Amino acid sequence: MYCLGKSIYVVISLCLMAFVVGCNQKSAIEWHDSKEVAIESGLKQEEAERESILSIEEFEGETFVFYEYMGGLGVANIVESEKGYGWKRSQPYNDFEVDGELTYSTSGFDIVTETGVAVSVLIGKTFDSSIQEMKLLGDGTERKLKVYGENGFFYALHKIPSDTIVVSPIIN
């Protein structure tokens, strides 16, 4: 009888945990009346300062916020729906470790927004303070990417896979 009671307790506990996790995932976005308020609220949730914003980018009808936090790069999507505007960061903060004498490093990931837009995000970091811009090739046109902040982050939003993008420093 004791084993049966313990088993029931475990099953009920697991069901309650699944319910709580499921509810939290659906209500994870706090809705606001404007993009600006959603950004302010999102930064507060992340415990980041307004000054940490590197840029706010519009891409394919979506708004993305790039910001620095604790030495890493955060990327959030401002979700728009009939409920209003909300902050959503689906990727962990990104930072780059250096082995050897690299002048820069890159990485990339894909995001599918709440509205179903697929976006590839190229992120990078320079380790040479003389590099202020990067050149991006591969998505149809040559683009210059600004290097932001003390940490030397750069990034780009695009539609093609990140491994087909070529990035190189512009040295003045």
**pTM of the entire structure?**
0.80
Q: pLDDT confidence of 153, banded at 50, 70, 90?
A: very high
Per-residue pLDDT tens over the stretch 35-70:
999 999 999 999 999 999 999 999 999 999 999 988
Taking the CB of residue 47, how many other CB atoms lie within 10 A of it? 9
Residue 8 pLDDT class (50, 70, 90 cuts): low
- The answer, yes or no, to whether residue 87 has pLDDT greater than 90, is yes
Sheet of strand 104-112, all strands in order from the earlier edge strand to the far edge = 104-112, 118-126, 153-158
CB 120 within 8 A of CB 162: yes
pLDDT at 26 over 70: no
